[in-house]
Amino acid sequence: MKKNIPLNERIIFALDVSTHDEAMELVQKLESHIKFFKVGLQLFMSNHFKTIDEIIKRGNKVMVDLKFFDIPETVKLAVNQLKNRGVSFATIHGNDAIIKAATADKSAMKILAVTVLTSFDKSDLEQMGMSGTVEDLVLMRARKALKIGADGVVCSALETKPIRDDLPIQEGQKFLIINPGIRPGHNIQNNDDDQKRIATAQQAIINGADYVVIGRPIRNSEDPIKLIKNIQQEIQTGLDKKL
């Protein structure tokens, strides 16, 4: 089943800046080609709902990426603060009880469970005393998220195909997968990147991602709109190859 997602919503632009004014300058510059924006912890702490409300008022979508992790009742109450503001996606960490609490009363907002941060690799898991591979852990968490009622997961493109192959066909078709750690093809081997499990947008879409999250490569580009068009072409090529 092909999801009916407009091309200008496939890229979720990460507003990883410190102030409302910086964020809105980027939104105004990019919204002719991108209609989905991510507000993370840094920006949210500077102005709370001000940026979120203004982005939505301008006719765009927002992913609130605060990765809620707390006792279930607190997470449930935090989700309640978001659900009636027009937010499209919200992210959570957590165990079964946290996912269940977050999805209990979310209205039309979709809850995404973070599997393993893209800044982690096997050595990080070993330092935490965890055995097995990153892929094993991602698959386990994705299965749980689907079973408990999350609308999708956040994972790297490297684990996306195994998740798609593993999920039951009927349920897996509507399950959303969002990939951060996306880099333009010419920049995929950037050794200065703090993201360890990275891929191109085309690879992510072919593997089964629905959305890709991109921030710095676009923000730091000399010609952001040209780069966006190039990445959207990558995405379209990936979609065409899946047909």
Active site residues: 67
- What Å distances lie between residue 201 and 17, 77, 168, 219, CA to CA? 22, 35, 25, 16
Residue pair 7/232 in contact by the 8 Å Cβ criterion:
yes
Parallel/antiparallel/unpaired status of strands 61-68 and 89-92: parallel
CB of 147 within 8 A of CB of 95? no
- Residue 13: in which H helix or E strand, if any? strand 11-14
The count of C-alpha atoms lying within 13 angstroms of the C-alpha of 212, restricted to the half-sphere facing its C-beta, is: 32
Q: Per-residue DSSP letters for 114-149?
A: E-S-TT--HHHHHHTT--S-HHHHHHHHHHHHHHHT
Tell the residue number behind the tokens 């410190």, with chain if given: 18
Report whether 161 contacts 208 (CB < 8 A): yes
Spell out the alpha helix ranges (H) of 191-223. 201-207, 216-219
**Number of CB atoms found within 10 A of residue 40's CB:** 19
Quick one: how far is CA 202 from the chain centroid? Answer: 16
